[in-house]
Amino acid sequence: MSDPNRRTSPPPKSGPGTSHAVRRETNRQHPEPQTAMQRLRTPLLALLLVVLAGGGLVFVFAAAASPAYACTGIDTVASPVAGELGQVQPDMGNGHVQTGDKITYPVCPPASGKHIAKVGYGPLTPTVYGPDDGSVPNGWVHNLEHGGLVLLYSCTKGACDDAAIASLRTFSAGFPASALCGIPAGSIGPVIARFEEMPTRFAALVWDRVLYLDTLDAAKISEFYTRYAERVDIAGKWIAPPEPQCAAPAPSAAASAAPTPSPS
């Protein structure tokens, strides 16, 4: 028999941990199921970033591989004019462009035209550039603008053998100073570079004038340079180049010898 005087202990109360667990279980809500688009959103965003990055790299490589210039047409060799060397080429301006800008020359090889004006890009350092050095008219047209001479050679026409390159180096070593400003060789020219868009094996260029040659005639090229690279009219005003590197010389002897009227 049970003792009527015995007190029965109340059941133990649940501890704090048990109460929180119950509340968590009670308050836990099951998330709504995601749609297919929600599930794929993160992978799609990652794929889009990969595609954009890849496209950017393709653009960079394509821009680097694209040519820096283009030629609308190739010049033709004109019939020689008595007493003259080379031929006149129509002026194509002398505007400046930024590095990376593509230039389209109406005729090649260009003896004028747009070019880069930035150290390391144009004017080019006068030297003999090898067949794979990648020198382009965007840079060396700037040498022409200052009165320099550019001598081009074509590999496809047979001017890249060891003998031809040695002759080009010999020509560079014996280059004369400019006729009017007396600029020494190596300051502005000569720039000797490979170029394929031309009608002959060699081409000597000064501003607005070209001398086409199938054999390397050093004496003729030097005379061409001294006669046409720096020119003034009879009054002593510059005809070429567009950016002469010295003050205009005194008027020619013919102008100074012209009779003056006697006092009235």
Q: Distance between CA 65 and CA 120 in Å, rounded?
A: 19
- Tokens found for residue 96: 């400046």
Q: What is the pLDDT of residue 38?
A: 64
**H or E element in which residue 31 lies:** none
Which residues contact residue 38 at a Cβ distance below 8 angstroms, ignoring those fewer than 6 apart?
Answer: none
Q: What is the pLDDT of residue 56?
A: 46
CA atoms within 13 A on the CB side of 18: 4
Q: Distance between CA 162 and CA 24 in Å, rounded?
A: 88
Q: What is the pLDDT of residue 262?
A: 38
Which residues contact residue 209 at a Cβ distance below 8 angstroms, ignoring those fewer than 6 apart?
Answer: 86, 87, 88, 89, 111, 224, 228, 240
Q: Distance between CA 209 and CA 223 in Å, rounded?
A: 13
Q: What is the pLDDT of residue 240?
A: 97
Q: What is the pLDDT of residue 151?
A: 98
- For the question of whether the overall pTM of this predicted structure is more than 0.75, the answer is no
Nearest to 92 by CA among 102, 106, 78: 106
Which residues contact residue 35 at a Cβ distance below 8 angstroms, ignoring those fewer than 6 apart?
Answer: none
What is the distance between the terminal CA atoms of the chain, rounded to a whole angstrom? 166
Q: Distance between CA 159 and CA 128 in Å, rounded?
A: 13
Q: Which stretches of the chain score pLDDT less than 70?
A: 1-34, 36-40, 43-44, 46, 48-66, 252-264
SS3 content of the chain, % helix, strand, coil (to 5): 30, 15, 55
Where are the alpha helices (H) located in the chain, listed in sequence order? 16-27, 36-65, 137-145, 162-173, 218-228, 253-256
Residue 225's identity, in one-letter code, is Y
